[in-house]
Amino acid sequence: MTESIPKEILESYLKSLFDTDKAAALRIVQKALDDGVTPEQVIFEVIIPGMERMIGDMISSDSLVTLSQHFLASQIAEEAADRLIPLFATAPEVQGRVVIGTSHGDFHGLGKKIVIGCLKARMFEVNDLGINVAPELFVDQALATGSEVIAVSSMMVHTATGERGPKRIRHILQERGLEDRLRIIVGGAPYRFHPDLYRDVGADAWGDTAAQAPGIVARLVREVRS
């Protein structure tokens, strides 16, 4: 890589996120490329720091960051990763493969989209199954895509603990003899109030914030590959 990018590029990008101006953010990314900044630098010195700044500000006690700002940062991170990674001088090593969706009966997709942005920016391949996903589909698509991790988002207690949620995914893995090949990570509001709930629903891990997801998923991928 070349020397670090000018500080004003990141500052301008951050301002566009706080202004929820997606068009401006994407123009900044394109101008950086036009000015000779490498795709790798845009990802690692602009997109990822921008995402981490938004998440860090949002979880601080005196946060003024809104969900719309947070969601915008994740959207841009996802779009930028999809666009820029194929332009890398050397193809980046895939850190792992993940299928993600919301529990059966759960139609809340915002948190999932934010997690996807974080994972893609960190070089994970992500297959988004959408909302209200049947447990059988999680497993079938994980096998079809060669994924190591199944990520399940639940924003309501009954979709986290119901018989068509992560519990059923665990049972399917047991029935098919797949527990050595796949890991389950869960996230969402119910798990914040009951830190041991992830174990009760049969998951291997849970993430409190989107920023934690890449590190946790990386650990689960290592477990599968070891």
Provide the pLDDT confidence category of residue 220 given band limits of 50, 70 and 90. very high
Mean pLDDT along residues 3-21: 88
Q: Are residues 102 and 202 in the same domain?
A: yes
As a residue count, the chain comes to: 226
Mean pLDDT of the chain: 90
For residue 216, is pLDDT > 50? yes
Confidence at residue 64, expressed as pLDDT on a 0 to 100 scale: 65
What is the domain count for the chain? 2
**If we measure between CA atoms, which residue out of 79, 84, 112 comes closest to residue 98?**
112
* Whether residue 159 is found in the same domain as residue 56: no
Alpha helices in the chain (DSSP H): 7-18, 22-34, 39-42, 48-59, 67-84, 110-121, 135-145, 157-161, 166-176, 189-193, 197-200, 213-225
Identify whether residues 105 and 212 lie together within a single domain: yes
* Amino acid at site 51: M
Task: For residues 67 and 172, state if they share a domain.
Answer: no
Res 8: pLDDT: 92
27 part of a folded domain:
yes
Measured distance CA(72)–CA(74) in Å, rounded: 5
Please give the C-alpha separations between residue 72 and each of 17, 131, 192, in angstroms, as whole numbers: 7, 19, 23
Q: Which of 67, 87, 107 is the last residue of a domain?
A: 87
CA separation (Å) from 170 to 135, 174, 185, 198?
Answer: 9, 6, 11, 12
Q: Percent of the chain beyond pLDDT 70? A: 94
Report the b/e string of 182-202 with b at 16+ CB within 10 A.
bbbbbbbebbeeeeebbeebb
In CATH, what number is assigned to the domain containing residue 165? 3.40.50.280
Instruction: Give domain status of residue 1, yes or no.
Output: no
Amino acid identity at 60: S
Which pLDDT score, from 0 to 100, does residue 48 have? 86
Query: How does residue 60 score in pLDDT terms, banded at 50, 70 and 90?
Result: low
Same domain, 105 and 217: yes
Closest-CA residue to 148 (of 122, 166, 126, 132): 126
Q: Which of 151, 86, 32 is nearest to 50 (CA)?
A: 32
Q: Which two tokens stand for residue 25?
A: 């953010």
Among the candidates 70, 87, 104, a domain finishes at 87
Does residue 73 register a pLDDT over 50?
yes
Tell me how far CA of residue 200 lies from CA of 41, 109, 115, 165, 210, in angstroms. Answer: 42, 23, 22, 12, 21
Which of 193, 53, 51 shows the shortest CA–CA distance to 113? Answer: 51
- Range from 9-13, 140-144, 155-159 that averages highest in pLDDT: 140-144
Do residue 134 and residue 34 come from a single domain?
no
- Domain limits at 169? 96-225
Residue 42 sits in the same domain as residue 122: no
Rounded mean pLDDT of 19-46?
91
| Predicted TM-score (pTM) of this structure | 0.80
**Mean pLDDT value of segment 92-110:** 93
Phi, psi of 106 (to 5 degrees): -110, 125
Domain boundary among 62, 87, 112: 87
Q: List all residues 6 or more positions away from 222 whose beta carbon is below 8 Å from its beta carbon.
A: none
Whether residue 109 is contained in a domain is answered as yes
The mean per-residue pLDDT over the stretch 86-111 comes to 91
Does a structural domain hold residue 79?
A: yes
Banded pLDDT at 110 (limits 50, 70, 90): confident
